Amino acid sequence: MNASRKKFTKSPLGTINPLKLGKKAEFETKANTAVIGRYSDSMVLAVIFVAIIYWVLDSILNIFFSNRFNLIAELVGPDLYDVYLRVIVLCLFILFGSHAQSIINKLKAAKQKLNESEVLWRTLIATAPDMIIAVDQKGIIRFINQRISKLPREKAIGKSMYRFLPMQYHDLARDCIESVFKTGEPERFEVRTGSDRKPKWYTIRIGALRLDRKVIAATIISSNTTEFKQAEELIRYKELFDNANEAVFLLSSEGKFIETNDRMLETTGCTRAEILKLGITDIVETNQIPYVKSMLREVRAEKEYRFELGIKTINGRIVPNEINCRTVLYLGRPCFLCVARDITETKLLHDQLLKSEGLAATGQLAASIAHEINSPLQGITALLSGIRLKYKHDRELLGELELINNAFISIRDTVRNLIDLNRPGKEKKQPMNIHQVIKNTVALTRSHLKKSMVSIKLSLAAQTSTINASPQQIGQVIMNLINNAVESITNAPDIQEKLNQSTPIGGEISIDTYNRKENIIITFKDNGPGISESDLVKIFDPFFTRKKTMGVGIGLSICHGIIEDHKGVMYANNVPQGGAVFTIRLPLIKSEFAEDEELALDD
């Protein structure tokens, strides 16, 4: 019998691979082989069975006839007995030959299956994505399934595997291979190769290859785990992002947002999808873009850099932040890792500290000036008292001396205000109607307003206007604000043009009041040129002034201190239509406010 034939083709490793057979042909080949095998075995058994029956019958007859009776010879006759013997021998040859052929066919089929299995496993090893190496106890490569370090597999066989590992991993790999040969237990370790910008990770698994329970080689499977490591790195960064108390974000080398945490989203007011479409230059003011680019260049050069940056929110508000930026590798790419800390409160404290230092210096200067002025004033006041006693009957002289004394009192008050610049409010506070104080102060300035061609408009709409305050100090604040408004209007560049028109347009000051919760709000508006944005933040600083002549710069600072001493708030802004507006908020007397609320409820 002929064994079934299958076609073969060469594999990439030089071995042979069986071509795929059709399912029908494969089934028929296996079925024919099985039928022939079973038929041959049955014939052998039948012959053996017939021979046993013949031997038993022949033995019984020979015993009864004393070996003189031959059953076959009696049945076929003596002439055909020889022919019978030859036929029997021939049948035996045919039967045993058929059985031998069946055994040979089985051996061929088993060998063919073994070859097919070998080809299959070699194909699987050759096409495996991982590198598979078999080494001896010294680390010499005996088998490898693919090229290594651009060296063909045929040339890699016989070389030490340690030459293909980085130097720092040689001892570790040698210890693992020796442990596998000694204990038979598997070992593993990780290898990092490549540059810092593009690292590659490999996991090396070493197992024992046994023959009759003896370790004859170590099998090494090298798997590229770079993507897994990058995923681990991504998870680590995400954990840092999510657990950080500060705003943390990643920028690409071009300054585009790659990733950010929730705190950064809260700071900017953007959603994650919105901010990932932006760059760092999109969340700062336009004039800060060159500064941001220069800071990123510094980070590239220094690897880590710290700078301040105003981050613009979605509603246009600028939030000062301190940025700690450093270069990192993220998924194999160079990036900027930035941690932003909101320093709004820090800057306020810093400004207050600077202001306190300025006020302390001012206090020292004021104390020195007060000493130099008060000493002569005391001598002059004593001399005036002596003259008043000597010429007490000269009324005209006494009147002139009184004018001089009032002038000295004014000088004394100015010096006292200078000393109390940072601690105003020594006068006694009492319940007072602020509307009345406003009317009285405006009445005192009528002539000055008329001379300056400035009109004043009162709109005292607050229903409750009683506060606990010093009438003198509140009047001083109102007087100062009116005088500043008049000076701002009269010094405007276009004031002469307005006055020379056929219908002269003079200045206008509006004083309005209204209630808000438990406070009274007083606003002072003018139609002057307004206040520059740079001056708004320091207009209440001591000795800050834009007046060209006779400007000391302590008036608004004293006013601000007086309002704060009365537990109020004072701030300045510009009116969109032009001009400045100063707003004062003072607390009302609670008992009267409560009474007004009860009356409103009764009504």
497-555: pLDDT as tens digits: 655 554 445 688 999 999 988 899 999 999 888 888 877 777 777 665 665 444 445 67
Residue 136 has pLDDT above 90, yes or no: yes
Please spell the DSSP secondary structure of 128-142, one letter per residue.
Answer: -SSEEEEE-TT-BEE
Percent of residues, the chain, with pLDDT higher than 70: 73
Q: Where are the domains of the chain?
A: 8-127, 131-224, 237-342, 361-422, 430-602
At residue 363 the predicted structure's pLDDT band, cuts being 50, 70 and 90, is: low
108-118: pLDDT as tens digits: 888 888 888 87
Residue 34 has what pLDDT?
47
Q: Are 541 and 355 in contact (CB under 8 A)?
A: yes
Residue 288 has what pLDDT?
87
Residue 146 has what pLDDT?
84
Amino acid identity for residue 220 in this structure = I
Residue 12 has pLDDT above 60, yes or no: no
Higher pLDDT, 386 or 93: 386
Lowest mean pLDDT among 18-32, 310-324, 516-530: 18-32
Residue 325 has what pLDDT?
93
Q: Which of 542, 525, 539 is nearest to 576 (CA)?
A: 525
139-183: pLDDT as tens digits: 999 988 888 888 888 888 899 989 889 999 999 999 999 999 999
Spatial neighbors of 227 by CB under 8 A, at least 6 apart, are none
Q: What is the CA radius of gyration of the chain?
A: 55
CATH architecture assignment, domain 430-602: 2-Layer Sandwich (3.30)
At residue 453 the predicted structure's pLDDT band, cuts being 50, 70 and 90, is: confident
Spatial neighbors of 180 by CB under 8 A, at least 6 apart, are 186, 187, 206, 207, 208, 215, 218
Please spell the DSSP secondary structure of 274-326, one letter per residue.
Answer: HHTT-BGGGGS-GGGHHHHHHHHHHHHHHSEEEEEEEEEPTTS-EEEEEEEEE
CATH number of 237-342: 3.30.450.20
Q: Does domain 131-224 have CATH number 3.30.450.20?
A: yes
Percent of residues, the chain, with pLDDT higher than 90: 18
Average pLDDT, the chain: 77
Q: Are 287 and 310 in contact (CB under 8 A)?
A: no
Asked if the domains 237-342 and 430-602 are classified in one and the same CATH topology, the answer is: no
Residues 112, 115: Cα–Cα separation, whole Å: 5
**In the predicted model, what is the mean pLDDT of residues 68-87?**
64
Residue 512's H or E segment, with its range, is strand 507-516
Q: Which of 513, 505, 506 is nearest to 458 (CA)?
A: 513
Amino acid identity for residue 35 in this structure = V
Spatial neighbors of 139 by CB under 8 A, at least 6 apart, are 160, 161, 162, 173, 174, 177
